[in-house]
Amino acid sequence: MKHILIVEDEIKIAQLLEDYLQANAYQTSHLADGLAVEAWVKSHNPDLILLDIMLPGKDGLEICKALRHFTDVPIIMLTARVEEIDRILGLEIGADDYICKPFSSREVVVRVKAMLRRLDKVMTKQQSHPLTINRETFIAQYGKQTLTLTPVEFKLLDLFNQHPERVYHRDQLLDHIYDDGRVVTHRTIDTHIKNLRKKLQQVGAEEFTISSVYGVGYKSHVSS
Ligand code: CA
């Protein structure tokens, strides 16, 4: 049974979500205070989190950022502020999806199911391709072959490997690889990606590819 944590200070909404998720065979827990979330997640390891933004104690965006320091648990933000969506899904906050308020409980269940299903698929795929990345030694290997990567290429590959199929804007990728705020052009990213692809090809990484998304940026794809 998958365990869903609902973080929502409006008790009525939380109760509705709990009822609906439980009716769909999910185990649920509910927290109403933002300050309690990190410790709770550490000790209970939920399978997915529905996270409201406006909360007492600590807001959902800050919580999400903090959670990302120690867990990849799928996080769906509940937001009434449409203008924040880019930021929510961006690297800085790192949520996986969002649902706009007001929502129907049915919609939430559909999205939760879809997210968990997608994750199961990704897990299966990750086990089936031989790319391994060691962040402590900075060594990336495909099967038994070592990829000779620059630090920037390593960071990019690590990111794409963690989130197959997720589309990254060039700006997000730039923010990710240069944290000193230096000014670089989109062409810089294109060059790094081009080199990284070449190196992946050299080791015969056919199951792991990085493709461009027209007008946006890049995503990785794992084929079995
Ligand atoms: Ca709220």
For the stretch 108-137, pLDDT in tens is 999 999 999 888 877 766 666 788 898 888
Lowest mean pLDDT among 21-35, 43-57, 73-87: 73-87
What CATH number should be reported for the domain whose range is 129-222?
1.10.10.10
Q: Tell me the percentage of the chain whose pLDDT exceeds 70.
A: 97
Q: Provide mean pLDDT across the span 24-40.
A: 97
Q: Tell me the percentage of the chain whose pLDDT exceeds 90.
A: 57
Whole-number Å distance, alpha carbon 9 to ligand 1 midpoint, is 5
Lowest mean pLDDT among 14-23, 35-44, 210-219: 210-219
Across all residues in the chain, what is the average pLDDT?
89
Lowest mean pLDDT among 71-75, 165-169, 189-193: 165-169
pLDDT digits (tens, 9 = 90+) for 5-30: 999 999 999 999 999 999 999 999 99
pLDDT-derived band at 172 (thresholds 50, 70, 90) equals confident
C-alpha distance from residue 40 to each of 7, 15, 79, 109, 165 (Å)? 11, 19, 22, 22, 29
Q: What is the pLDDT of residue 126?
A: 62
pLDDT-derived band at 178 (thresholds 50, 70, 90) equals confident
Whole-number Å distance, alpha carbon 37 to ligand 1 midpoint, is 14
Whole-number Å distance, alpha carbon 112 to ligand 1 midpoint, is 19
Whole-number Å distance, alpha carbon 32 to ligand 1 midpoint, is 9
**Model pTM?**
0.65
Whole-number Å distance, alpha carbon 98 to ligand 1 midpoint, is 14
Residue spans in the chain of domains classed CATH 3.40.50.2300: 3-122
pLDDT digits (tens, 9 = 90+) for 179-207: 776 777 888 899 999 999 999 999 988 88
128: number of Cβ within 10 Å: 11
Contacts 24+ apart (CB under 8 A), 59-65: 59/34, 60/7, 60/34, 61/87, 61/88, 61/93, 62/34, 63/7, 63/34, 63/37, 63/38, 64/88, 64/93, 64/94, 64/95, 65/92, 65/93, 65/94
3-122 has CATH 3.40.50.2000 classification: no
Q: What is the pLDDT of residue 75?
A: 95
Q: Provide mean pLDDT across the span 40-68.
A: 95
Residue spans in the chain of domains classed CATH 1.10.10.10: 129-222
